[in-house]
Copies of this chain bind each other. A is one copy, B any other.
Amino acid sequence: MSISGPGFCRKLGPSQMRFQLSIGVRRSSLMIKPWEVLSSKIELEDRWIKVRADDCQRSDGLIIKPYYVLEYADWVCVLAITPDGNVVLTTEYRHGVRSIVTGLPSGVVDKEDSGPEGTARRELLEETGYTSEHMVPLGSLYANCTNQPNLVHYFLARDAELTGTPALDANEQIDVELVPWEQVRSTPFLRQSHHVACLHLAEKYFDVCSPATIV
């Protein structure tokens, strides 16, 4: 049984396979309380960035100011696997590190999208030309809870097939590559933290639904 075959994941239904995390206060602490926001202003904003500066007060009275928050929208990240067990990878220039980097299809949840899964489908198609009839939510994690409110929503696109043509934005140049899952998961192939987190969520998914059958 392959990771994408029809017998895959028979033990649990789709709703049970959701590793969606409950976002919120996991446990209370007598000492640790949320901060009160005394005032807030936008320091920098245009189409691409929004930096908010909050003046805050802790429960013990300590004033913390400014505290910068980067108001990003949510992101998605897609681990797309073909029926023969290859992962669909994208290689593009990443100006943050001024280097050409291989990673997973990913992008920003637009207001026009039907939700994170719609974004995942759109980004996978736009960046790679691949689509999937079996999009499995793997979970959502904070992108960087220290100073960003946004989540990364992770999806496994099972049985991904090349059904279209990449439709890149004007500012995108992307090479698509297929690499066996075993190689992606077991080697230092992906170099971005968010993408490596996706490998962990996928392995948890595979552990539960088909422990001995990862390709």
Contact = CB atoms under 8 A, between A and B. Distances in A.
Interface string A172-215: 01110000000000101011111011011101100100000000
Contact of A93 (B33, B142, B203): B33
A164 interface: no
A99 interface: yes
Contact of A173 (B32, B46, B96, B152): B32
A100 interface: yes
Contacts of A56: 95
A28 interface: yes
Interface string A115-158: 00000000000000000000000010111111111001000000
Interface string A57-95: 010001010111110000000000000000000011111
Contact of A96 (B21, B148, B197): B148
A194 B191 contact: no
Instruction: Indicate the size class of the contact surface on chain A.
Output: 35 or more
A24 B96 contact: no
Interface in A1-48: 19, 21, 23-29, 31-35, 43-44, 46, 48
Interface of A: 19, 21, 23-29, 31-35, 43-44, 46, 48-49, 51, 54, 56, 58, 62, 64, 66-70, 91-103, 139, 141-149, 152, 170-171, 173-175, 186, 188, 190-194, 196-197, 199-201, 203-204, 207
Nearest first, the 5 A-B pairs at minimum CB distance are A196-B197, A200-B200, A94-B145, A141-B193, A96-B147
